[in-house]
Amino acid sequence: MKKRQFLKLTSVFAAGTVAAPMLTFCSEPNAAGENGGDKKNGESNSAGFTLPALPYAFDALEPHIDALTMEIHHGKHHQGYTDGLNKALKNRSDLKEKSIESLMKAVTAANSDIGLRNNGGGYYNHSLFWEIMSPEGGGTPGGAIAEAIDGSFGSFEAFKEKFSEAAGSVFGSGWAWLCAGEGSLFISTTPNQDNPLMTGIVENTGTPILGIDVWEHAYYLNHQNERGAYIDDFFEVINWDAVNARLEKA
């Protein structure tokens, strides 16, 4: 695997950019992360969060997701969210020992810390996204997730249709999710980098166990405007073992 290039940047993003739409922020990685690094598991400690290493090579998901998209998406976009999250946490000693899941649950309608919401969301969402894809993925699920999908949606085919429809219907940038809720699974969508852990912000709160990034940066190089084709390709690389593991912990 290629080593991540450390970004040397001459400017720190202006304060106003934090509140601006994420498209602007996302295309401009901010200050080089003093806490950044390719630690295998990413995640946190009191010094900050690190970009998790991709669990496979950039080209491993081809032909479904191309290598250049993966390299930019991971090395630039996810790194930008990681740095932004660390910046948002800089003067928040009250939050420094919290896991990323706890931080996401702490993002509520009442607590509108936009830096934490956008960058923490971007950090969490992409960490999940890399993990639930695999070059050995695709096909139909087995185990507990297969039973849960049948129980909640009737059949895998019905689930796939509903999930694809949801992902296709996201207006602008956002995500579609499969979540574990109270005794059943549900599909939801969120705008920008919001996710189903956030309270009072998203329509349906639950534990995300599968998610697809439908921001154009996730597919435009290879699929251009064909989001539907990208969604079909995503199904060819879903790591159902990882989804099962998330369901077990949910």
With respect to Mn ion, which residue has the nearer C-beta, 159 or 215?
215
Q: Which two tokens stand for residue 224?
A: 């251009």
Only one of the segments 143-151, 190-198, 208-216, 219-227 lies at the binding site for Mn ion (rule: CB under 5 A); that segment is: 208-216
Instruction: Please tell me the distance from the alpha carbon of residue 181 to that of residue 188, in angstroms, as a whole number.
Output: 11
Q: Is 194 in the site for Mn ion (CB under 5 A)?
A: no
SS3 call for 213: strand
Angle formed by the axes of helices 240-249 and 143-153, nearest 10°: 80
CA atoms within a 13 Å half-sphere pointing along the CA-CB vector of 46: 3
Angle formed by the axes of helices 143-153 and 156-169, nearest 10°: 80
With respect to Mn ion, which residue has the nearer C-beta, 76 or 105?
76
CB 132 within 8 A of CB 246: yes
String marking each residue 39-68 x if it binds Mn ion according to CB under 5 A: ------------------------------
What CA–CA distances, in Å, run from 31 to 13, 51, 58, 178, 179? 7, 14, 24, 33, 33
Q: At its nearest, how many Å lie between Mn ion and the CB of residue 69?
A: 10
Instruction: Please tell me the distance from the alpha carbon of residue 143 to that of residue 250, in angstroms, as a whole number.
Output: 15
Residue nearest Mn ion, Cβ-based: 213
Total of residues contacting Mn ion (CB under 5 A): 2
Only one of the segments 131-139, 184-192, 211-219, 225-233 lies at the binding site for Mn ion (rule: CB under 5 A); that segment is: 211-219
With respect to Mn ion, which residue has the nearer C-beta, 75 or 115?
75
With respect to Mn ion, which residue has the nearer C-beta, 78 or 246?
78
With respect to Mn ion, which residue has the nearer C-beta, 134 or 193?
193
With respect to Mn ion, which residue has the nearer C-beta, 148 or 231?
231
With respect to Mn ion, which residue has the nearer C-beta, 69 or 239?
69
Q: At its nearest, how many Å lie between Mn ion and the CB of residue 154?
A: 31
Residue of 87, 213, 238, 246 that binds Mn ion (CB under 5 A)? 213
Instruction: Please tell me the distance from the alpha carbon of residue 69 to that of residue 215, in angstroms, as a whole number.
Output: 12
Instruction: Please tell me the distance from the alpha carbon of residue 234 to that of residue 237, in angstroms, as a whole number.
Output: 5
CB 49 within 8 A of CB 123: yes
Q: At its nearest, how many Å lie between Mn ion and the CB of residue 240?
A: 21
Only one of the segments 165-173, 190-198, 202-210, 215-223 lies at the binding site for Mn ion (rule: CB under 5 A); that segment is: 215-223
Question: What residues make contact with Mn ion under the rule CB under 5 A?
Answer: 213, 215
